[in-house]
Structure 1
């Protein structure tokens, strides 16, 4: 499946990884699965790695529906950080599309990092690679 997630409670973080073609139905399915996970908390930060995305569905109505589902599934008691790792043109396109959908809303802060090290620095995690983060959680 081209989208997966890992909850890292010790970092107050949900790490989402996309590979291949990013699809809306799969994203909604994984969001629902994540929201039901016993380690999930509504105030967790989300880091979305788009490094391995090769394309995405061009369904803008579906994309807005995905964002609406996110609000429904992840009710926030405080501002939510949504951080995208987007080193490629396709990843940047997706991250910027997401940023535009949240513009004007105080509820979500969308940030975009060019690489893993920058994203981890923005999260205040003193590591260089996401793989290290996974090892630290094991």
Structure 2
């Protein structure tokens, strides 16, 4: 699947990685897996790595329907969540922009876009400068 995630419960953080061609069904499947995971907690910070995206399904109506479902769940939690997208390429910036636009009117989601892993991790308050470093540090 072109979407995978790793939850770091002690850090209140989930790292989501997109790669290849991303379809809306892939996002929906990953979202279901994430919210049913035992380490899922509403309001977790999300670090979303879009660097590996080579293309994405561009169906604005279906995308907004999907995001509306997520928005409803997030609003019900009453918690605010920061979502930082890593988007170093033109295609990853386009894909990230779709997500950011969908969160614009929600106070429960603070979406930000950064060019590098180091910038994104710093915004999330993480000491590591790369996702690989984060994965290694959390494995210890």
| Partner in structure 2 of residue 134 of structure 1 | 135
Q: TM-score, normalised by structure 1?
A: 0.94
| Partner in structure 1 of residue 21 of structure 2 | 21
Q: Bigger shift: 41-50 or 101-110?
A: 101-110
| Partner in structure 1 of residue 47 of structure 2 | 47
**1:1-138 correspondence to structure 2 within 5 Å:** 1-74=1-74, 75-138=76-139
Tell whether the 8 Å contact from 1:35 to 1:73 is kept in structure 2 after alignment: no
- Give secondary structure in 2 for the equivalent of 1:31: helix
* 1:58-97 deviation per Cα after TM superposition (whole angstroms, max 9, x unaligned): 1111111221232245543221111100000011111112
Aligned residue pairs, count: 138
- Give secondary structure in 1 for the equivalent of 2:77: coil
- Give secondary structure in 1 for the equivalent of 2:79: coil
Q: Distance in 2 between matches of 1:123 and 1:132?
A: 14
Q: Distance in 2 between matches of 1:130 and 1:23?
A: 23
Q: Structure 1 regions of 5+ residues with no counterpart?
A: none
Deviation at 1:109, TM superposition (A): 0.5
Deviation at 1:38, TM superposition (A): 0.5
Q: Distance in 2 between matches of 1:101 and 1:7?
A: 23
Q: TM-score, normalised by structure 2?
A: 0.93
* RMSD, aligned α-carbons: 1.2
* 1:86-125 deviation per Cα after TM superposition (whole angstroms, max 9, x unaligned): 0000111111121111112212110001010000000111
Deviation at 1:137, TM superposition (A): 1.5
Q: Bigger shift: 88-97 or 62-71?
A: 62-71
